[in-house]
Amino acid sequence: QYIDSGQLIAVAVAEKQRSSLLPNVPTVTESGIQGVELNVFFPVFAPAGTPQPAIDRLNREITRIMQSPDIKEKMRSAGVETSGSSVEEAVKAVRGEYAFYGGVVSEFGIKAE
């Protein structure tokens, strides 16, 4: 609403690709700055040892719910794009984030207090 009203000017989005919410706003990479990507996702976790059929059903049901028109619209109005992924894609994404931020913690010597 702030962009639409002119109170804010969107300069770039820090995602791999342009957002469907702001299709005319370039990515940071398109703007000439490499290595800046911040993709927000909300994975759902289950306890270790959860049977694969239960995980698969949970994934199917959550994806179905997130793709329903009313939920998509509610999320979109909050500035969130919804999508679903396979369990394997989610695991890969979580591991990638863990490796990336683990490197940041290590490189900068970040410690819990």
pLDDT digits (tens, 9 = 90+) for 33-74: 998 888 778 899 999 999 999 999 999 999 999 999 999 999
Per-residue confidence (pLDDT) for residue 33, from 0 to 100? 93
- The answer, yes or no, to whether residue 80 has pLDDT greater than 90, is no
C-alpha angle 14-90-20 in degrees, rounded to nearest 5? 40
Same domain, residue pair 23 and 66: no
Structural domain including 78 reads 52-108
In terms of domains, do 25 and 56 share one?
no
The mean pLDDT value for 11-37 works out to: 91
Q: Go through 71-110 and write b for each residue having 16 or more CB atoms within 10 A of its CB, e for each that does not.
A: ebeeeeeeeeebeeeebeebeeeeeeeeeeeeeeeeeeee
pLDDT, one tens digit per residue, over 100-109 is 899 999 999 9
Same domain, 60 and 97: yes
pLDDT of residue 35: 84
Backbone φ and ψ of 79, nearest 5°? 85, 20
Strand partners, 27: 13
Same domain? For 56 and 97 the reply is: yes
What is the share, in percent, of the chain residues with pLDDT greater than 70? Answer: 100
Examine residue 113 and state whether it is found in any structural domain, yes or no: no
pTM of the model: 0.70
Whether 7 shows a pLDDT value over 90: the answer reads yes
Answer whether residue 47 is part of any domain. Answer: no
Run of H or E residues at 2: none
What domain count does the chain have? 2
Could you tell me if 58 and 86 lie in one domain?
A: yes
Residues 57 and 32 in one domain: no
Do 25 and 58 share a structural domain?
Answer: no
